[in-house]
Amino acid sequence: MLLKDEVGMLKRVPLFSGVEPGKLKLLAFTSDRVSYSAGQVLFRQGEEGDAAYVILSGTADILVETDGGQIKVAEVEPNAIVGEIAILCDVSRTATVKANERLEALRIRKEHFLRMLRENPEMTIEIVRVLAGRLSTTTAELSAERSRNH
Amino acid sequence: MDKSLARFIWTHTWRQQIWILVVVALSMIPYFMALDLPKQIVNGPIQGKGFEGAGAMQPFLPIAFDLPFIGSVRLYAGFPLDREQMLYALSFVFLFLVVVNGLFKFYINTYKGRLGERMLRRIRFILVDRVLRFPPFYFRRVKAAEVASMVKDEVEPLGGFIGDAFVQPALLGGQALTALVFILLQNFWLGMIAAVIVAAQIIIIPQMRKRLLRLGRERQITARQLAGRVGEIVDGIGTIHIHDTSNYERADVAARLGHIFKIRYDLYQWKFLVKFLNNFLAQVTPFLFYLIGGYLAVRGRIDIGQLVAVIGAYKDLPSPLKDLIDWDQARQDVQVKYQQVFEQFSVDRILAPEIQALSREPSPPLGAPLTVSNLSVADDSGATLVEHISLRITPGERVALVGTPNGGADILAETMARLIWPAGGRVSIGDGDILELPEAVVGRRISYASSDPYLFQGTLRDNLFYSLKHAPLIDRTYEGPDAQLAKWRLSEAEKAGNPPYDVDADWIDYASAGAGGPGDLLIATMPTLAAVDLSKDVLELGLRSAIDPARHPHLVERVVELRAAMRERLEEEGLDDLVVPFEPGAYNREATVGENLLFGAATGRAPSRRELAADPYIAGVLAADGLDRTLYGMGLDIADQTVELFSDLPPDHPFFQQLGFMTAEEVPLYEALIQKLSGKPYESAAAEDRARIIALSFAYIEPRYRFGLLTEEIMARVVEARQRFYEGLPDDLRDAIEPYDPEKYTAAASVLDNVLFGRIGNNQAEGPERVRALVRGVLEETGLYDEVLDVGLDFDVGVGGRRLSVVQRQKLDLARAMLKRADFVILNRPLLALDQRQQESIMRRVLDGLKHEERNPAVIWVVSSAAMARFFDRVIVFDAGTLVEDGTHETLSNGNGTFSTLVSR
């Protein structure tokens, strides 16, 4: 996959949809293209986060460690971005991400990602939107869970 | 060292000085003969005196004396020669005397030079020897650069003077006296005039030169201080940058230079004034001769022949006199220098030489306990650091010293290590004060490590085994010319009062490290390196170094096996694409185009890509099938895309870190270049511009930059160009590059590169880390782990060990303290650069490692946090310079004293 194809992929990630193609190309160029084999871990829960990943091909499981063992909370597909939370707010990784099959991703370093946000307000707004959406889903799930337990 | 330079020189060189005096006296005989001979040649054979008749003969070389009372004694009648023969004979005698005089001069000068150099060597050695024996507090006041400048520069003139110290005054004084006596004999009054002026010269000039000496001393001190300041600037360069004080330093240096200039200028003025006066006095004498002598002659009181003889004799007087005065000045000058240095190096409480006496015998284990009795330590200002400390540590004990921040635990440790001398009380082993016991005992039976170790410039190995180099234990044997040289070195050392120890002998005390000899030292060291967690670092350094194939034949021989093992390992783990191997006939996608073209490692300095692209030979290789055009086009494309991406970014933007082939500064340059070159044919581009553009292609790696520029066809052509490159390689390049060969070790490349023999995939997640782990595994499997560790130990640690990290330096210091296998191991917060968890894990391993030795040494560990004390049998707590608690960990932590507060804090 060439740089220009990666730009096309990035364009389809909601977070980057509002960013002009020139900037996206720069982002793609300065990110590392990494490939993982099935079962290889992108990052582990509890580690310090230093990069976000845009999945270019393949799928990965998002796993959370609980007292009862590892549970799978979601699966990510191409065009998804993972690991951005840990680099946004300096917390350790909240989940483990493990490749399901052969997986290609763009690894965006923390400082590059933050720089992009600073230079592209539309990206920041998009991030807020995605995070707010996630928060409301999580809240809804949590209250559903609580009402089920009670 | 003697306070007076003359006495110092005489004590050490009186035999040589007398000998040289004798030789000088002997050399006078041919000298005067050579002076007399021209007169004989001119009068005799040339003017024909004594050869009046045809066929007249004169005796050649008659030996006859006129002795008083006995009359003429004729030993040899001489060889009769005619006029022409006599000319030849006398001329050759003259030539012979010239040679003899020259040889005498040569011998005398060499002898004097050697004498001076030996003394210089002796003085320098004495000075350094004293530095080694200075008490520790002295070093808080002296600057290293000042001491160095004294040893190196200030004693230097002494060497030149020493050879002349006694000969010169004897010789010159003799000459001057002869001339004076001659004048006196000619005419008493004229002689008296000369004597008075000479006396004036001898009295006045040295008086005036006193000021010169004072200035000279000032010059010496200021220059030394300048050296000290320059040393400080170098050492403190970081602090200067941090606080923007470079201009303050400039001002300081300028002020010092100004001061030095003033002194030197004064010196010149005065020096030339003295010279003027001296010359004037010398010239005024003939004036008086003409005036008074002329007057006497006119009055008929003295005949003209006498006057002419006096004036003639006077010619010989000023020059030895002047030299004599110069000699005297040199004498005073070096005397001042010598005294200066002497005072600086005469220090109170300097260690007695016996304390540092060399001992080749192993020092037996100390059975006695370490006793601290009523110890007080004060700092330079007299403030108390610790006081009234008494304790006793028996061999085999594990003691943690815990302290509040100014508790004094570290001070106690430093005192036990003799780094600080007590103000009162003492530290002793058995009955002996540790300051009075020989260093051969305390330096071997007590070891010490701190968080601020000093490493010497040299290899990691030198520094690691530094703690074992007490004496030259295994003499080195020399053969052939080396033996001769070694013998000479030894005899010279003896003549200059230097010790006869051979620095090239084997100084490592293998037995004390638990090894039998050089062969198993590394194996004996491995557990220690592992205990302090340094093995991985050393291995890493080894992997990154290039080796000398002659020193590590195993690695070279087994590299093919190693590569195969590595490949097998990668395949086993399903990681074939983690490393893309180099194959002679194939393109390696993970390497740059340039690497693929050259397919080898640079033996010397690696040339830049631009230099490669501009190289005429490489340009020719590329041009052979038009690859230069292709790469030029590709380079333009790369430049175009890169400029488009980066031209709007400020130069400090973090994105530039990802740009491997262009710096932020080069972006505008390439932007201009594209404008200049785009649309123009390749031929019209200047050679320099072409090189710049092709250099970009040389840096290109498709999987990394993903511009989609490198086609299969280009790759195939690069491989073909590689073949062409090696086929016609000129000799100068042949030595500069070592081609990759799957069957051979590439000496110019690092060990890691040799094992991998390929490039780590750019797209592999955590590629380098995973590869390193695999390489470690493979090295262990093949038994070459030790070998690479050995390579790592050859790493040059740099000045003060600065090429190692602080953590590595601290670990190294701890390792060498352990290696010595002492009876008392004092560790003063040795691992401060690590976090507590890491410190504890190393601490446990170190304590374990020390316990498992047969000797079971006492460990005295100043811990950096009270919690760490739980690993020790006994805990001693310090607060505000006094010992407040002493007991087992259990009792102290259950009590409610200082320790329990420190732990719960």
Could you give the ipTM of this predicted complex? 0.79
Contact criterion met (CB below 8 Å) for B377 and B422 = yes
Distance from CA of B763 to the nearest CA of A (A): 4
Closest alpha carbon to B705 in B650, B634, B753: B634
What DSSP character marks residue B459?
B
Name the A residues in 70-129 with CB < 8 Å from any B CB: 104, 107, 109, 111-112, 115
What SS3 class is residue B707?
coil
pLDDT for the residue numbered B627: 81
Tell me the C-alpha distance between B309 and B721, whole Å. 92
How many angstroms from the chain centroid is the CA of residue A117? 15
CA nearest neighbour of A75 among A96, A92, A45 = A96
What is the reported pLDDT for B852?
67
- Closest Cα in chain B, distance from residue A10 (Å): 15
The answer to whether the CB of B144 falls within 8 A of the CB of B310 is no
Q: Which chain B residues touch A115 with a CB distance below 8 Å?
A: 653-655
pLDDT recorded at residue B694? 85
Two tokens, residue B283: 């010239």
Cβ–Cβ < 8 Å for B63, B75: yes
Alpha helices in B315-459 (DSSP H): 318-345, 409-416, 439-445
B705: nearest CA partner in chain A: A29
Strand B758-760 with B579-581, pairing: antiparallel
Work out the mean pLDDT of chain B and round it to a whole number: 85
The answer for B 637-696 residues in CB contact with A (under 8 A) is 644-646, 649, 653-655, 658-659
Q: What stretches in chain B show pLDDT beneath 70?
A: 1, 54, 64-68, 70, 852-854, 905
Cα nearest neighbour of A115 on chain B: B654
Structure token digits, residue B859: 């460990």
Query: Largest Cα–Cα distance of chain A, in whole Å?
Result: 53
| Burial of B92: CB neighbours in 10 Å, binned 0-12, 13-18, 19+ | exposed
Residue B67's pLDDT is 67
Taking an 8 Å cut-off on Cβ atoms, the answer to whether B765 and A35 are in contact is yes
Residues of A in contact with B762 (CB under 8 A): 32-33
Phi, psi dihedrals of residue B379, rounded to the nearest 5°: -90, -175
Phi-psi map region of B300: left, alpha, beta (phi>0 left; psi -120 to 50 alpha): left
Distance separating alpha carbons of residues B34 and B813, to the nearest angstrom: 70
Each residue of B828-837: b (16+ CB within 10 Å) or e?
bbbbeebeee
Give the count of alpha carbons within 13 A of A124, CB side only: 8
The beta strand positions in B16-161, using DSSP E, are 58-60, 63-67, 71-76, 79-81
List chain B residues with CB under 8 Å of A6: 706
Task: Find all residues with CB under 8 Å of B88, minimum gap 6, and list them.
Answer: none
pLDDT at B29: 82
Beta pairing, strands A81-82 & A51-57: antiparallel
Instruction: List chain B residues with CB under 8 Å of A43.
Output: none
Cα of A72 to nearest chain B Cα, Å: 22
Q: Which residue has the tokens 């490590």?
A: B449
Q: How far apart, in Å, are the Cα atoms of B241 and each of A4, B237, B250, B800, B805? A: 45, 6, 13, 20, 21
Which chain B residues are closer than 8 Å to A1 by Cβ? 706
**Token code pair at residue B779:** 């090295």
Partner-chain contact B658 A29, CB within 8 Å? yes
Predicted local confidence at residue B811, as pLDDT: 92
For residue B448, what pLDDT is reported?
Answer: 92
Nearest CA in chain A to B766: A34
For residues B695 and B697, what is the distance between their CA atoms, to the nearest angstrom?
A: 5
Query: Is the CB of residue B708 less than 8 Å away from at least one CB of chain A?
Result: yes
| Percentage above 70 pLDDT, chain A | 99
Residue B587 C-alpha, separation from nearest chain A C-alpha, in angstroms:
19
Q: Please name the residue ranges forming H helices in B609-686.
A: 609-614, 616-623, 627-646, 666-677
Q: Which residues pair with B426 in a beta bridge?
A: B373
Interface test with B, best of A35, A87, A108, A120 (most B CBs within 10 A): A35
- For residue B656, give the chain A residue with the closest CA: A30
Pick from B654, B707, B763: CB nearest A115: B654
Q: In what order do the strands lie in the sheet with B424-429?
A: B384-393, B370-378, B424-429, B432-433
pLDDT at B65: 66
Amino acid found at B488:
W
Q: Are B386 and B412 contacting, i.e. CB atoms less than 8 angstroms apart?
A: yes
Whether residue A35 and residue B763 make contact (CB cut-off 8 A), yes or no, is yes
**Residue A48 DSSP one-character state:** B
DSSP codes joined into one string, B764-808 = BTTHHHHHHHHHHHHHHHHT-HHHHHHHHTT-B--GGGTTS-HHH
Note whether B765 contacts A34, CB cutoff 8 Å.
yes
Residues 6+ apart with CB under 8 A from B189: B292, B296
| A23 in contact with B, Cβ within 8 Å | no
Nearest residue of B to residue A29, measured between CA atoms? B705
- Check if the beta carbon of residue B370 is closer than 8 Å to that of residue B843: no
For chain A, the distance separating the N- and C-terminal CA atoms, rounded to the nearest angstrom, is 51
Report the residue count for chain B: 905
Distance CA B292, CA B183 (A): 14
Q: Nearest CB to A35: which of B646, B659, B764?
A: B764
All residues of chain A having their beta carbon less than 8 Å from the beta carbon of residue B770 are none
CA distance B45 to B77: 19
Contact between A57 and A78 under an 8 Å Cβ cutoff? The reply is yes
Q: Which tokens hold the place of B308?
A: 């002419």
Hey, what CATH topology would domain A3-141 get? Jelly Rolls (2.60.120)
Burial label, B430 (beta-carbon count in 10 A; 0-12, 13-18, 19+): exposed
Chain B: give the shortest CA distance to residue A130, in Å: 25
Q: Which residues does chain A have within 8 Å of residue B705's beta carbon, measured at their own beta carbons?
A: 3, 29
Question: Rounded to the nearest 5°, which phi and psi values hold at B610?
Answer: -65, -40
Amino acid B258: pLDDT: 94
Contact B385, B411 (CB under 8 A): yes
Q: Map out the domains of chain B with their CATH numbers.
A: 370-458+822-904 (3.40.50.300), 546-582+745-793 (no CATH), 587-739 (no CATH)
- Please count the residue pairs, one from chain A and one from chain B, whose beta carbons lie less than 8 angstroms apart: 55
- Residue whose tokens read 């003209």: B304
Give how far B523 is from chain A: nearest CA, Å. Answer: 37
Q: Measured between alpha carbons, how far is A34 from A99 in angstroms, rounded to an integer?
A: 12
User: What pLDDT is recorded for position B66?
Assistant: 67
Angle at B587 between CA B585 and CA B588, to 5 degrees: 125
Considering chain A, what percentage of its residues have pLDDT values greater than 90?
Answer: 0
Distances (CA, A) of B751 to B739, B767, B787, B790, B861: 15, 17, 11, 12, 38
Token pair for A28: 């793609």
* CB–CB contact B763 A25 (8 Å): no
Instruction: Please give the Cα distance from B851 to B531 (Å, whole number).
Output: 12
Mutate: best of B706, B711, B770, partner A, most A CBs <10 A: B706
- Output the furthest CA–CA distance in chain B (Å, rounded): 129
Spell out which residues of chain A touch residue B575, defining contact as CB-CB under 8 Å.
37
Rounded to the nearest angstrom, the gap between the alpha carbon of residue B432 and the centroid of all alpha carbons in its chain is 37
B795 and B431 Cβ atoms separated by less than 8 Å: no
CB atoms within 10 A of CB A47: 12
Alpha carbons B716 and B214: distance in angstroms, whole number: 80
A107 neighbourhood in chain B, CB within 8 Å: 765
Side-chain-side CA neighbours of B1 within 13 Å: the count stands at 22
Chain A CB within 8 Å of residue B762 CB: yes
- Say how many CA atoms lie within 13 Å of B547 toward its Cβ: 27
What is the secondary structure of B821-835 as a DSSP string?
--SEEEEESTTTTS-
Whether residue A30 and residue B764 make contact (CB cut-off 8 A), yes or no, is no
Task: Please tell me the predicted confidence (pLDDT) of residue B68.
Answer: 67
Between CA B83 and CA B90, with CA B86 as vertex, the angle to 5 degrees is: 145
Q: Which of B645, B654, B762 sits opposite A25 (nearest CB)?
A: B645
Between strands B824-828 and B882-888, the pairing is unpaired
**Region for A112 from its dihedrals, namely left if φ exceeds 0, alpha if ψ lies in -120 to 50, beta otherwise:** alpha
- Taking the C-alpha atoms of residue B507 and residue B691, their distance in angstroms, rounded to an integer, is 54
What is the distance between the alpha carbons of residues B611 and A148, in angstroms, rounded to a whole number? 73
**Closest Cα of chain A to B702: distance in Å?**
9
Query: In the prediction, which pLDDT does B57 show?
Result: 76
Reported as a single tens digit per residue, the pLDDT across A13-62 is 777 777 777 788 888 888 888 888 888 888 888 777 788 888 888 888 88
Nearest residue on chain A to B576, judged by CA atoms? A37
Mutation site, B573, B575, B637, B645, interface A, largest A CB count within 10 A: B645
| CB spacing of B645 vs A111 below 8 angstroms | no
* Chain A neighbors of B649, CB-CB under 8 A: 26
Report the SS3 class of residue B421: coil
Per the DSSP assignment, residues forming a β-bridge with A57 are: A104
